[in-house]
Structure 1
Amino acid sequence: MTDTTAGGDVRLSGISKTYGNSFTAVHPLDLTVPQGSFFALLGASGCGKTTTLRMIAGLEDPTTGTVLLGDRDVTSLPPHKRPVNTVFQSYALFPHLSIHENVAFGLRRRGIRSVKKPVGDMLDLVQLGDLAQRRPHQLSGGQQQRVAVARALINHPQVLLLDEPLGALDLKLRRQMQLELKRIQTEVGITFVHVTHDQEEAMTMADTVAVMNGGRVEQLGAPAELYENPRTTFVANFLGTSNLIQAEVVSVGGGTVEVTAPGATLRLPAERCATTPAVGGALLVGVRPEKISLTHADDADTVAAGRNRVTGTIADAGFIGVSTQYVIDSPVCPELEVYAQNIERDPRLTPGAAVILHWNPDHTFGLDAAQSPSAGTVGATATATATAGETVEATP
């Protein structure tokens, strides 16, 4: 099914969008989306991701910059003349037409008469071949979404744009569709550019994720790289949860940085610092909640040597099935979070218990302490830390 004969990267060069004289939705941005990749623009509402997508589609005119598909400059082309199709959250299916005719619509509009085989092939691709004669209202939300994808792909666009396509689905169905969309993209080999505010959705499907904040790309990379090595507090907090500890650098050498925080000395790899650490300088030390082990204070002597360790008291504990989520009151940080898998639960680990938190120093990262530790958390004001006009390029 793969058709990449009319391929080429999607390249945005100096692209920006300003409304009036006061609001800039997208600051000057250079971005390359490799041909045949599944690329996600991820960010909170108002970060500029949908505006960026609409400029690729031709639904918004950029204030500055160019949009290139392969070597072709499409900046001034109207939407219907671009080799691009868009799938929206609303699906926009024709209620009076069968599923077959919904998918065939684009072919018939182009004057193609023989539509039975291509429509059949496309419905088989999205696993709806046996429902071809049904109407949209007779399908589930996930099935309607697959029809919308099939209708968008039937014309073999160079790029498929997806604007929050799973937002209207419930959690279980959304997760199923994440896997379906990834399977479809792999089979057809067409470039997918997917806009979402859902971190899990982006990380599940995309080869490359661009985290947007305040109209700029905050960080770009593979999902695992963004999660394990965030470069800003916004990315650290927006992609999952991070414990960020204010610390002072006491030594740097041998590839290791040593810091002090109230009541603790911690170590981390120098290569995992997003800023150059200097002795006497401040550093935000981060560790993900699932990387931390929790041991009752009575068993402190069982903690292996060489691990980062801090003391604390359990302030709260919430059982959520696969894990228990603890909030720890500690001298280094008032609300440290720890996620512990429910394998062999220690019945002593209840609110009020004194505990030791410990983890592998290699699982620690360092960030510039000049940033707000709360950036990227729910309710925090969005701030942009990327440089205006910064060039970011994805690689397959």
Structure 2
Amino acid sequence: MSLADGARGDLKLTGLHKRYPNGFVAVESLDLVIPQGSFFALLGPSGCGKTTTLRMVAGLEEATQGTIHIGEQDITYAKPYKRPVNTVFQNYALFPHLTIAENVAFGPKRRGAKDPIDRVKEILALTELTEQAGKKPAQLSGGQQQRVALARALINRPDVLLLDEPLGALDLKLRRAMQIELKRIQEEVGLTFVHVTHDQEEAMTMADTVAVMNKGRIEQMGAPYELYTNPRTTFVANFLGRSNLIKGTVVGREGTGDDAVVKVDMHGTVATIKASKVHTTSDEGWVGIRPEKVLIQPEGQSLDAPGAALSGAVVVDASYIGVSTDYTLRMPWGQEITCFEQNTGRRGGLIPVGTKVDVSWRPEFAFLLDSAQDVEAGLEED
């Protein structure tokens, strides 16, 4: 099934700017192209500008500057009801006195459709609500109500579907199930989905492309894998998951092309970093490594994949969380870093607190960020 046959093209935001009368700038000079038929996520903390951006696309906020196009159609100042856009909100806003089928049929009937019964059946089947058609919203679970809100938006066949924290009211288990469902539905209908969220896992699970926003600007945009494995700023490194950031000094550069690497001294240990993951021209930087890429062994035992090997660390905390154990390690220079070790059963138990350990990681997993950036950027928002 595809609802996108009449779609008008990419969603294009050009020089989009939103300043409120009190002087607060919510969105600043935003340039963005969201390809037709893609699942796109705007990710960031509260107040970063993501919801304001969504509301400007929907027509619920007026842009201070810039333009909004869907294909060749300029919708910058069009009335909300004249835009080929629909929005699904966190609170669903269902009509409690109407049945599920009547809720879904409301939009087409309002637009003059005489008998949208076939379209209603089609959308209810797509959203797995056929058996709930005769019920009232109060008789449904939170996840089912979320599907009704989605069905009510999809039946209008918008060029762009806007999702404003649509899973925020659901519990964790149901939210994860609905992430998979939303992605499935988007792929089936072929419409452009623009999803606003502060939940990193939600964005990475569903979106083809994620734009990480901070203070009205896009810090970095790309596929989830690229953002996570190769962050370009400390904010992205800290906000999208967790990172260990260690101060280092560049001491050399070797190789060319894909084989080019940078050598960085970290408190006496030299780490090798691929040039494609170096995002600073300074000789000082933050060496970054994700906790799940950190390998540890009690002092003197062989490491599985030696790379940048550091000795003299001490386990100061060990938290068993089932699938993994989270270790906090105090390094010889006093900094604490984190290691997530998957509980495969190979170790046979936890490394006790107070144990001296050696630490290592493979060179291809490290990245280097500009030392002028705040090492704690993104932490308070996480």
Pairing 1:291-310 to 2, within 5 Å after superposition: 291-299=293-301, 302-303=302-303, 307-310=307-310
* Counterpart contact for 1:310–1:332, Cα < 8 Å: no
The one-character-per-residue Cα deviations of 1:274-293 (angstroms, maximum 9, x if unpaired) are 1235xxx2111000000111
Pairing 1:322-361 to 2, within 5 Å after superposition: 322-331=323-332, 334-343=335-344, 344-347=346-349, 349-361=351-363
* Counterpart contact for 1:9–1:35, Cα < 8 Å: yes
* Counterpart contact for 1:11–1:70, Cα < 8 Å: yes
* Counterpart contact for 2:324–2:340, Cα < 8 Å: yes
Structure 2: distance between partners of 1:332 and 1:252: 25
Change (3 A) 1:29 1:379: closer
SS of residue paired to 1:298: coil
Question: Which residue, out of 347, 363, 366, partners 2:365?
Answer: 363
Q: Which runs of 5+ in 2 are unaligned?
A: none
Tell me by how many angstroms 1:231 deviates: 0.4
Change (3 A) 1:369 1:231: same
SS of residue paired to 1:308: coil
* Counterpart contact for 1:263–1:332, Cα < 8 Å: no
Q: Which runs of 5+ in 1 are unaligned?
A: 381-396
* Counterpart contact for 1:4–1:190, Cα < 8 Å: no
Instruction: Please tell me whether residue 147 in structure 1 is matched to residue 148 in structure 2.
Output: yes
Equivalent position amino acid for 1:337 in 2:
T
Change (3 A) 1:58 1:65: same
Structure 2: distance between partners of 1:305 and 1:360: 6
Pairing 1:238-387 to 2, within 5 Å after superposition: 238-254=239-255, 255-276=260-281, 281-299=283-301, 302-303=302-303, 307-311=307-311, 312-331=313-332, 334-343=335-344, 344-347=346-349, 349-378=351-380
* Counterpart contact for 2:239–2:381, Cα < 8 Å: no
Structure 2: distance between partners of 1:162 and 1:80: 17
SS of residue paired to 2:113: coil
Tell me by how many angstroms 1:332 deviates: 5.1
Counterpart of 1:394 in structure 2 is none
SS of residue paired to 2:47: coil
Tell me by how many angstroms 1:379 deviates: 5.4
The one-character-per-residue Cα deviations of 1:20-56 (angstroms, maximum 9, x if unpaired) are 1520000111111000000000000000000000000
Tell me by how many angstroms 1:228 deviates: 0.5
Counterpart of 1:39 in structure 2 is 40
Structure 1: distance between partners of 2:237 and 2:192: 27
* Counterpart contact for 1:89–1:168, Cα < 8 Å: yes
Change (3 A) 1:68 1:58: same
Tell me by how many angstroms 1:347 deviates: 3.9
Structure 2: distance between partners of 1:160 and 1:304: 47
Counterpart of 1:389 in structure 2 is none
Tell me by how many angstroms 1:258 deviates: 1.1
Pairing 1:18-57 to 2, within 5 Å after superposition: 18-57=19-58
After the TM superposition, which parts of structure 1 deviate over 6 Å for at least 4 consecutive aligned residues?
Answer: none
The one-character-per-residue Cα deviations of 1:256-304 (angstroms, maximum 9, x if unpaired) are 1111122422111111101235xxx2111000000111111031xx236
SS of residue paired to 1:55: helix
Counterpart of 1:393 in structure 2 is none
Tell me by how many angstroms 1:346 deviates: 4.8
Pairing 1:119-268 to 2, within 5 Å after superposition: 119-254=120-255, 255-268=260-273
Tell me by how many angstroms 1:378 deviates: 2.3
Tell me by how many angstroms 1:324 deviates: 0.2
* TM-score relative to the length of structure 2: 0.96
Equivalent position amino acid for 2:119 in 1:
P
Counterpart of 1:386 in structure 2 is none
SS of residue paired to 2:252: strand
What percentage of aligned pairs have identical amino acids?
57
Structure 1: distance between partners of 2:261 and 2:29: 37
Structure 2: distance between partners of 1:283 and 1:31: 29
Q: How many residues align?
A: 375
Structure 1: distance between partners of 2:304 and 2:177: 41
Equivalent position amino acid for 2:275 in 1:
A
Equivalent position amino acid for 2:310 in 1:
V
Counterpart of 2:98 in structure 1 is 97
Q: Which moved more, 1:43-52 or 1:290-299?
A: 290-299
| Bigger relative CO (Cα 8 Å, ≥ 6 apart) | 1
Equivalent position amino acid for 1:307 in 2:
G
* Counterpart contact for 2:45–2:381, Cα < 8 Å: no
Tell me by how many angstroms 1:116 deviates: 1.2
Equivalent position amino acid for 1:90 in 2:
N
SS of residue paired to 2:352: coil
* Counterpart contact for 1:258–1:265, Cα < 8 Å: yes
Change (3 A) 1:306 1:290: closer
* Counterpart contact for 1:263–1:310, Cα < 8 Å: no
* Counterpart contact for 2:305–2:362, Cα < 8 Å: no
Structure 1: distance between partners of 2:350 and 2:62: 61
SS of residue paired to 2:300: helix
